[in-house]
Amino acid sequence: MSEDDYVDLDRIDMTVQELLTEMKDISEVIVDLAYASLMYNSREMAMRVNELEDEMEELKYAMRVKALMAARTREDAKQLSGILQIASAADRISHAAGEIVELLDVAPEKRPFITNLINESDEKIRMIRISPSSDMAGNTIGKLGVEANTGMKIIALKNRYGWTYDPDDNVKLRAGDDIIVSGTEDGGNRLSEFASGRIPWEFDEERSGEDE
């Protein structure tokens, strides 16, 4: 690849639909991650936000190239312009998340209200540890269907290998792992009960079948 080839060729091979799906997904997780980085004062999480921001930028350029190549008629151009507008908006959301994590440079005592703000929000962020007596230990996120059963989205996971952000469904949870989740208070309380082993996990037959 020549030096002035800014657009990642892998992404150019993605379809417009794949690009748009990816951009939408990032636009949703990146804001949660940004708030979580402030809440836990985590540089590492902020770096992940910046990486996602860069990735979004690449996707946006790939999208522009694809859209221009696809436009043949006036009608095509009209429809594709709508898609480009969505892509730009998703990109703007990622930059706003980037602005949020920049607040980490401010000393924590100058931003005490931020933790309070996140705690009072409709969408709450909390850290939960998986206990050895929990049914969650030893199962993958996908098999458990964590979000489907509790409404809580796992935005980060800390295990013996370190941190994973926005972990995939095939990642296995183990006793002692910490997960950072976002969702409602009620969902968080329910997930804590499962994670501590106080209540057994309600496995879904169909879901465990689909997993393999």
Query: Among 3, 10, 122, 212, which residue interacts with another protein (rule: CB under 8 A)?
Result: 122
Amino acid at 53: E
When the beta carbons of 69 and 148 are compared against another protein, the nearer one is 148
CB atoms within 10 A of CB 140: 18
Which residue from 120, 160, 209, 212 is in contact with another protein, where contact means CB under 8 A? 120
Q: Counting contacts by CB under 8 A, is residue 171 touching another protein? A: no
Q: How far is the CB of 143 from another protein (least distance, A)?
A: 10
Spell out the residues 6+ positions from residue 178 whose beta carbon is closer than 8 angstroms to its own: 127, 128, 129, 130, 157, 158
For position 71 contacting another protein by CB under 8 A, the verdict is no
Contact between residue 3 and residue 71 where contact means Cβ atoms under 8 Å apart? no
Instruction: Report if residue 27 touches another protein, rule: CB under 8 A.
Output: yes
* Binding status of residue 73 toward another protein by CB under 8 A: no
Among 51, 78, 127, 176, which residue sits at the site for another protein (rule: CB under 8 A)? 78
Per CB under 8 A, the list member of 65, 186, 200, 203 interacting with another protein is 186
Pick the closer one to another protein by CB: 172 or 190.
Answer: 190
Q: Within 10 A of 130 (CB to CB), how many other CB atoms are there?
A: 24
Nearer to another protein, 27 or 139 (CB): 27
Instruction: Residue 183: count other Cβ atoms within 10 Å of its Cβ.
Output: 23
Closest residue by Cα to residue 156 from 20, 5, 40: 40
Name the minimum Å distance from CB 197 to another protein: 18
**Nearest Cα residue to 45 out of 29, 60, 61:** 29
